[in-house]
Amino acid sequence: VVDQLRLTEKDREGMSAPPPHGLPPGLPPPPPVIGVVGTTATEKPATSKKIKIKRLTKEERAKALERGRNKGKEKETHIKKQQGPEWLKVVMTKIETEDGSGMAREIENILSEDKEEGLMGSSLFVFDFDKTITLGLGTEQKIRGGSRTLQALERLKAKGGTLVVVTARSKVSSGLLSQILKNARLAKIFDIQDTKSTSLKIGDISVQCSCNHVAFACGYHKHRVVASLATQQSPRYKRVFFFDDNPNNAFEVAVLCPRLIGLEHNKKEGESTVDSKGKEAMVTSLRSYWCSTYLEELAGNMGMHPDDPDHPYQEMYASALAAFGIGRVEMEERDGKIREKFREVIRTRRAERGAAK
């Protein structure tokens, strides 16, 4: 903010009166600044009423936590889709384990549930990469859940399931993704033979596709990519499973995909081909899993900085968290515990470095 410009005597010659705000003629005055520290604005700061924040008692806090847990008491929450087809069943599930093996456990359950021969051949499994399959950017060779995760993925592949990676990484990093998959010993599981990258149009968005249509870098349009893959003509999929460490991605896939799948089905098949049980439908089941890192982080395996934009326990993810049974009170509690754990880990690392010197 320019409050006063000192002029030399030569500058002042011929000036009958000082210009407004001390600026040379011809320049517009600066906008008024109200309540900014370090300025000499003449306007008085706008008065604001103090907002009283009600502090919850222990009993009230316990009740609020219980209400939040009751909403998500059942691990699987069926989502009402106002615009989605009735024949498409959607299930949302939260996975939390201290050792990161939760996704592997769910895959094992899916495999054990499948009694029908050939059903796995019409199943699409979509995985996020960072902090879902691996432990995150920079630690790509470390698999989340260790050997149990690798074995579960290998069993899926052996049973005929289709496995793809859909990442929020930018288009420029899709080539890097190809290298990561190789380094992470996943090339064989995902059947990567070609690491060339091509651009793919899905509606009005551009997606970077690499590794022979196995890896897709799409920013935050994951629901668009999942719906497009789910409704392709060959192979035909009956079931779609989506795994992501970000609650909002899992939430959007569960809530936004059904309508896109329904529209695409009607475009290709027409409503007349769908009976009351959805027998002719392309996709009849969509399961979206939030692979939460909360318990792992409390155990000391920090996934990200608490101020990272993808940190799950923040206001913009409140709706997604609520869908998985995490109310605002619990959201704040989890955020506080993770921040405290993060500070503890930093203090420990500094002490270790100091001792090493």
| Count of structural domains, the chain | 1
pLDDT band at residue 175 under the 50/70/90 scheme: low
71 within a domain of the structure (yes/no): no
pLDDT value, residue 199: 83
22 within a domain of the structure (yes/no): no
Domain that holds residue 308: 77-323
pTM of full prediction above 0.75: no
Length of the chain: 357
- The better pLDDT of the pair 198, 224 is held by 224
Distance CA 217, CA 171 (A): 6
45 within a domain of the structure (yes/no): no
Structure tokens at 175: 């080539």
143 within a domain of the structure (yes/no): yes
**pLDDT above 60 for 47:** no
pLDDT band at residue 326 under the 50/70/90 scheme: very high
253 within a domain of the structure (yes/no): yes
212 within a domain of the structure (yes/no): yes
| Percent of the chain's residues with pLDDT above 70 | 67
115 within a domain of the structure (yes/no): yes
Residues 196-204, mean pLDDT to the nearest whole number: 80
Q: How many CB atoms lie within 10 A of CB 309?
A: 8
304 within a domain of the structure (yes/no): yes
